Amino acid sequence: MKNTMTAFDVLVIGELNVDIILDDIQGFPVIGKEILANELNVTLGSSSAIFASNLSTMGRCVAFAGLIGEDSFSQMVFDSLTQKKVDTGFIAKTTHYGTGLTIVMNYGMDRANVTFPGAMEQLSEKDITNSMLSSSKHMHLSSIFLQKGIRKEVVRLFERAKRLGLTTSMDPQWDPEENWDLDLDVLLPYIDIWMPNEVEFKKITKSGSLSEGIEKIKQYANHIVIKDGARGAHLWTNGELITRPAFINRDVADCIGAGDSFDAGFISEFIAGNDLVRCLEIGNIMGAINTMEPGGTTAFKNAQQIKELAREKFQFTY
């Protein structure tokens, strides 16, 4: 069944949390000792919310389905998404669980995270109605390992989306338990664009290289996009592995949300029907722009500003 009347370009299903970001940290935490951080930023977190916000900033019409608590953090989530013009009508509240929270400790190009999952673990596949799915042309899901309720029936969720005529994408993100257990053989046929980073791809496919991992899953995968940091990004499609180099920002504020911003750039072009290599390039430019400001969303103001930054900072025109 094909969607003919839709309110949104993309329905994002995902976790919601607030990030408490610590920068300029004097050393590494040691049990029984105290260290100092000289900079603090409290902002909208979660890979899914960063993706949704930046996709909306690019001019796409985005709705979000998720679960948060009835607390002060929940209002920050709503306010932040609304400011980015993301529709929050499918976000539910619960009094039984708190809103998710992540403490992010930044160390240059890398970071350490501690996450309180709270309500994000409680959203289930049954909470995502056919009416929600039918409201959009495309469904994107991030952070499957944090969303234990969704994970139980994730194959059914993607199967329903495809049956209703949506295109689909998933960014699996990190597994805090490091089990990396996904039934790829039954899941990937329902995912048009699968978007792990290089480490996640190797972990989930239990492979030592990209070529080994692709060989294992190519018989049931559609398109695979692998984010590879400063080495750019890779696209496996139609039996071919294509790489496009990263756009390098020499003055990095932090890398929080860079992968999610890449996803936003790629999917923005994908739903417009553009060539997948072009999608890869726009993903790379969005990831680079992300690193110009702290946090995952502050670098992006509107579609025109994004194009101007791409041209002026990275000599890229689109």
In angstroms, the CA 156 to CA 150 distance is 10
According to DSSP, the residues that pair with 242 across neighbouring strands are: 235
Q: Which amino acid type is present at position 222?
A: N
Bridge partners of residue 287, in order along the sequence: none
Whether the CB-CB separation of 18 and 77 falls below 8 Å is answered with: yes
Cβ pair 205, 175 in contact under 8 A: no
Domain boundaries, the chain: 8-314
pTM of the model: 0.93
Half-sphere exposure of 269 (CA within 13 A, CB side): 19
The pair of structure tokens assigned to 209 is 């290289």
- Report the distance separating Cα 267 and Cα 278, nearest Å: 11
Which regions in the chain score pLDDT beneath 50? 3
- Give residues with Cβ within 8 angstroms of 259, minimum separation 6: 47, 171, 197, 227, 287
Provide the pLDDT for residue 254. Answer: 82
pLDDT at 5: 65
Residue 176, Cβ neighbours under 10 Å: how many? Answer: 12
pLDDT tens for each residue of 33-81: 999 999 998 888 899 999 999 999 999 999 999 999 999 999 999 999 9
Question: Residue 231 corresponds to which tokens in the numbers above?
Answer: 């080495």
Q: What is the mean pLDDT of the chain?
A: 95
Q: Looking at the domain 8-314, which fold is it?
A: UDP-N-acetylmuramoyl-L-alanine:D-glutamate ligase (3.40.1190)
What residues contact 66, with CB distance under 8 A and at least 6 apart?
13, 14, 15, 16, 48, 90, 91, 92, 120, 123
Nearest 5°: the CA angle 69, 75, 79 is: 135
| Spatial contact of 9 and 60, defined as CB atoms under 8 Å apart | yes
Residue 135 backbone zone (phi > 0: left; psi -120 to 50: alpha; other: beta): alpha
